[in-house]
Structure 1
Amino acid sequence: MKNKEQFVHSVFESIAPKYDLMNDILSFRRHKAWRSFTMKKMKVPAGATAIDLCCGTCDWTLSLAKASGTGPIVGLDFSQHMLDYGAEKVKAAGRNEQITLVQGNAMSLPYDDHSFDYATIGFGLRNVPDLEQVLREMQRVVKPGGQVVCLELSKPTWQPFKSIYYFYFQRLLPLMGKLIAKRYEQYKWLPESLVSFPDHQQLAGIFRQIGLTNVQAYPLTGGIAALHIGFKENIKQGPEASQHA
């Protein structure tokens, strides 16, 4: 039996060609709206730097680059197949000079402390072997006052929507994965990955536990997704320095 890291790697290597299409299905075509909401909350200024972990095919990486305009952006993923598809998007957008794509491990980032204004992870935190370690790494590489941002699938909290969603997610989604992406086991695994994942309140608690301040949690679309933003404490001015965001 492969360990989680090896299995997840094989999943994303195999589904890369249909990843964007399946994201539409997985999120009821809401993932673009969720990302737009996230970008508004982040308030990325011109020239800001960012690292986008588990960047996949680089949709969020490109959004960060467009918002920054000139700031260097890094997209990091452990799946080279995903990065290859992302590289095509980056090239088509004319962002080759601004965006650097790196094959790497989110649990051990190859960057110095205080390197970026933002560290983001979209629909990837539930897939890592140790989510707290990834969040600590994100916190480490952002500058004091910088933001750690997670957009992720979550757990609906109210009925009857909760029951309907879980039926869709656990029963119908794997079948659609088989029909559309020709990958049943991989899409059967996706709902399983959510079972042990913390809900939005628990994840906000983890953000605070590792030392992030002014933590904000936003359930989206009935709680099927959630946005979390936390700030790295500004040593010089204290945690209140980021209250304006």
Structure 2
Amino acid sequence: MTQSPKNTDVQALFDKIAPEYDKMNNIISFGTHKLWRQKVMSKMTFPVGAQIIDLATGTADWALALAEKSDATAHVTGLDFSEEMLAVGQKKVDVSDYSDKITLVQGDAMSLSFDDSTFDIVTIGFGLRNLPDPARGLQEMFRVLKPGGQLVILETSQPDNPIVKPLWQLYFGKIMPMFGKVFAKGKYKEYKYLDETTENFMDYMTLGKILLKIGFTKVKISRFNLGAAAVHYATK
């Protein structure tokens, strides 16, 4: 199983980059991460009064989008292990129209403090690759989902096109870390780490097979930007 790079305190890293995180997301993805989430949610089913949890919620962008998409009786829990990321997210929630239906909590996605079969929907966006043990995190997601509940994973991926792949490697390996140095107050090392997790993370087919092995069914995969990102839909 792919591990996070050794000797990296991931929690401290995200605490450090929290102030510039939203700005850097827009720069690095050229704003496409928002479009990806909208496309993903257009294919999701939102039950009335759905209990939803967004893992690795970061600054709560997806939690806010889920709150907007679901009905007035639904509730969204956003969980992240970075206190500083959650602090940025809480400010956004407080000034939104959905402050009464979003709760942000600090926690570990590999050891969730929720009962079995609690949630109708579990989402995780660009966070699975940062877990030291992604399979353990996926098992926890399976545990807290209700029978018939939906898991949605949006994650970076590796293009397999022989023309696109070298350009992808150049961008994530060289250009993206330099963006961190230029636009994020010299945080080259932190954005180099994010490149490493992207480059070393399992491919989309491997992730699909792990989901099936854990017990998920109806696993469906879609890819974006010539394979630079992938979404996995699965049902418990």
1:122 to 114, 121, 125: 125
What TM-score does the superposition give when structure 1 sets the normalisation length? 0.90
1:43 is matched with 45
What TM-score does the superposition give when structure 2 sets the normalisation length? 0.94
Q: Unaligned 5+ residue runs, structure 1?
A: 233-245
For residue 65 of structure 1, report the CA deviation from its aligned partner.
Answer: 1.0
Give the Cα separation in 2 of the matches to 1:94 and 1:27: 26
Q: Does 1:213 align with 2:217?
A: yes
- For these two proteins, the number of residue pairs brought into alignment is 231
Are the aligned partners of 1:44 and 1:64 in contact in 2 as well (CA < 8 Å)?
A: no
Give the Cα separation in 1 of the matches to 2:153 and 2:171: 24
For residue 45 of structure 1, report the CA deviation from its aligned partner.
Answer: 3.3
1:57-72 equivalence runs, <5 A = 57-69=59-71, 70-72=73-75
Identical-pair percentage: 48
The one-letter amino acid of 1:40's match is: S
Q: Unaligned 5+ residue runs, structure 2?
A: none
1:198 is matched with 202
1:84 to 77, 83, 87: 87
Q: Deviations over 1:114-137 (max 9, x none)?
A: 101001100000000100011110
Give the Cα separation in 2 of the matches to 1:108 and 1:166: 33
Are the aligned partners of 1:217 and 1:226 in contact in 2 as well (CA < 8 Å)?
A: yes
Q: Does 1:94 align with 2:100?
A: no
1:124–1:212 Cα change, 3 Å: same
Q: Deviations over 1:39-59 (max 9, x none)?
A: 011122332110100000101
For residue 94 of structure 1, report the CA deviation from its aligned partner.
Answer: 2.9
Bigger mean CA deviation after superposition, 188-197 or 74-83: 188-197
1:102-141 equivalence runs, <5 A = 102-141=105-144
Q: Deviations over 1:86-142 (max 9, x none)?
A: 001111113222111100000000100010100110000000010001111011101
Are the aligned partners of 2:81 and 2:108 in contact in 1 as well (CA < 8 Å)?
A: yes
1:14 to 13, 16, 19: 16
SS at match of 2:146: strand
Q: Does 1:225 align with 2:218?
A: no
The two structures, once aligned, show a CA RMSD in angstroms of 1.5
Give the Cα separation in 2 of the matches to 1:163 and 1:6: 26
